[in-house]
Amino acid sequence: MDFSTPPPPRGPLILDTITALGDLSVSSRSYFEDSDVDMHDADWEGLSEDEMLYDAPCLPSIETDDPPYLRGGILMPPPNLHWARKPSVAGRQDQGDDDDDQDDDGYSASSDWDEYDGLSPALDEYDDIVTRLEGSEDWNAEQRKLHKLIYMRGLHPMMHSWWRVSFKMWGVTQPHLDDVFTPKNSQKRVAIHAYGNEVAAAKALESLFYLSQTVTDYEEIGYQSKIAMTVVKGIRGYIKWALRDAGIDQHRTQPCMLVQAYPPDFRGADDDDDDSDGSDFAPSPVSAKSNEEDGAPKTTIAAAVDKKLDPEYLEAQRARRFTRAVSRDLERRLLDMGQRWRDLLRAGKKSKRFVAPPPTLYAFAVVQHIVMLASHDPGAATNPVVVLEQVRLNDRGQWLWNALSIALPVNMARDALNGMWETGVVVEERRDSESDPDL
């Protein structure tokens, strides 16, 4: 597949609210009306409305308020994945990449790629833009790194050079996309990588390539009702691979990522809000009459009533109300998840110290074809929830950049969990290949 569309131009984002959602079709129709979505496959049968919306990919299967040893999180070193790394090393040698010392300064998730050829002008431009972004001063180091990596798509190496062969059919190996991969023989750590089987890692990333194609197809044939669930399943599938690749049990480990789908008629918990900016309803005739009797000019009242009844005005009001409801709900979920992490890692019941810094949390808010990437630093309850990126999956030509925007935060969140084995809050997954003691 030829890849001809460059990354979209970057611009400032409003970081304290959910943005760019007002152009979505906000309808009062049911989200799944006239849809043939298999509700059984979606695991939504028998769930309440709130549970249907809470599509977290890795919910813990047991209470997380218990001590680590009661959650199965005994203190242990990271799992032995040597068996899975053998084919990876062999694959690198097949590509002619020598296995250099992995302890050098550039072998970390934040490798020193800033000195890479051609990056300096882009970095200068990025530094100028990020300083003008509202709220960027509140980002922690992980959020800054993620925002920078997303901005540098196409210029910053994000995958190892030996992954080229896996993506040849997609056209990612074309000369003008060389910078997506590391230079040959380089052993510096990259943001998108595998701890185990790299063939499985490439397949997982390839599944994200298909998202933009599938979403665009659904739009063209009029199946908009299928889009959100398809995107949710795609992101959840990639998260499942990422945690399994690191040997992490996603069902018994406190999640640091969530995927949340919002139907176009989502109103949240603020239905009773009566502020004029958020109201979806026309003014009461009684209220208008009382204002008229109080001496308000008839022409002013009539104009206000006409405005409130104007379809375009009502649609704009519904869009604003929807945007506010999504923003508040996503913020609440991330703050609640942050509180659970602080409780897990607190050195004592009343202690203000943590046995380890809580990992940065990420949320994917899915609204039709838009994926909103939000993040929260749970190190303090007062840290804000910020929006780092908006991924529009209905552009077929952006399939590579869209996939990288989703894969980057998943890999960073997985790496953060992988560094917390000694805390006891990360539980190792039992491999199916382990020998059965009864045999």
Average pLDDT across the chain, whole number: 73
Which whole number is the average pLDDT over 75-84? 46
Range from 98-112, 130-144, 242-256, 342-356 carrying the lowest mean pLDDT: 98-112
Within-domain flag for 98:
yes
Question: Strands 361-367 and 257-261: what pairing?
Answer: parallel
41 in a domain, yes or no?
no
Q: 6-10, 279-283, 403-407: which has the minimum mean pLDDT?
A: 279-283
- Which residues does residue 365 pair with via DSSP β-bridges, in sequence order? 260, 372
Query: Total structural domains in the chain?
Result: 1
Whole-angstrom distance, CA of residue 161 vs CA of residue 184: 6
Q: How confident is the model at residue 288 (pLDDT cuts 50, 70, 90)?
A: very low
With a cut of 50, say whether residue 105 has pLDDT above it. Answer: no
Amino acid 249: pLDDT: 94
pLDDT band at 12 (very low <50, low <70, confident <90, very high): very low
| 373 three-state secondary structure | strand
184 falls in which pLDDT band (50, 70, 90)?
confident
% of residues, the chain, pLDDT over 90: 41
Tokens representing 178 are 């060389």
Find the farthest-apart pair of alpha carbons in the chain and give their distance in angstroms, rounded: 90
Full DSSP string of 289-349: HHHHHTT--HHHHHHHHHHHH-HHHHHHHHHHHHHHHHHHHHHHHHHHHHHHHHHHHBSST
Q: Which helix (H) or strand (E) holds 275?
A: none
Residue 22 is assigned to a structural domain of this protein = no
Structure confidence at residue 246 (pLDDT):
95
Tell me the sheet residues that pair with 362: 257, 375
User: What is the pLDDT averaged over residues 61-69?
Assistant: 34
Tell me if 38 is assigned to some domain.
Answer: no
Q: Give the C-alpha separation, 347 to 67, whole Å.
A: 11
pLDDT tens-digit profile of 341-396?
999 999 887 788 899 999 999 999 999 999 999 999 999 999 999 999 999 999 98
389 backbone dihedrals φ, ψ, rounded to 5°: -160, 150
Residue with tokens 């509202």: 134
Q: pLDDT grade, residue 278 (50/70/90)?
A: very low
Asked whether residue 30 carries a pLDDT value surpassing 70, the answer given is no
Q: What is the reported pTM?
A: 0.71
- Site of tokens 């790194």: 145
User: Does residue 21 form part of some domain?
Assistant: no
How far lies 394's CA from each of 112, 365, 397, in Å? 34, 16, 9
Does position 400 have pLDDT exceeding 60, yes or no? Answer: yes
pLDDT-derived band of residue 67, with 50, 70 and 90 as boundaries?
Answer: very low
Between the alpha carbon of residue 365 and those of residues 202, 215, 321, 330, 421, the distances in Å are: 25, 16, 16, 7, 28
Of 149, 230, 147, 231, nearest to 193 by C-alpha is 149
Residues in the chain: 439
Classify residue 439: in a domain, yes or no.
no
- Among the ranges 124-128, 184-188, 305-309, which has the highest mean pLDDT value? 124-128
Task: Tell me what pLDDT residue 391 has.
Answer: 96
Is residue 437, in this structure, part of any structural domain at all? no
pLDDT in tens, 191-206: 999 999 999 999 999 9
pLDDT in tens, 307-344: 667 788 888 888 889 999 999 999 999 999 999 999 99
Residue 298: C-alpha distances to residues 27, 288, 294, 305, 307 (Å): 33, 10, 11, 11, 14
Q: How far apart, in whole angstroms, are the C-alpha atoms of residue 240 and residue 249? A: 9
- Predicted local distance difference test score (pLDDT) of residue 228: 95
Residue 68, in any domain of the structure? yes
Specify which residues 375 forms β-bridges with.
Answer: 362, 386
| Banded model confidence at residue 299, pLDDT cuts 50, 70, 90 | low
**Left (φ > 0), alpha (ψ -120 to 50) or beta: where does 405 sit?**
alpha
What integer pLDDT is reported at residue 303 of this predicted model? 59
- Would the pLDDT of 72 be above 60? no
Domain that holds residue 84: 49-423
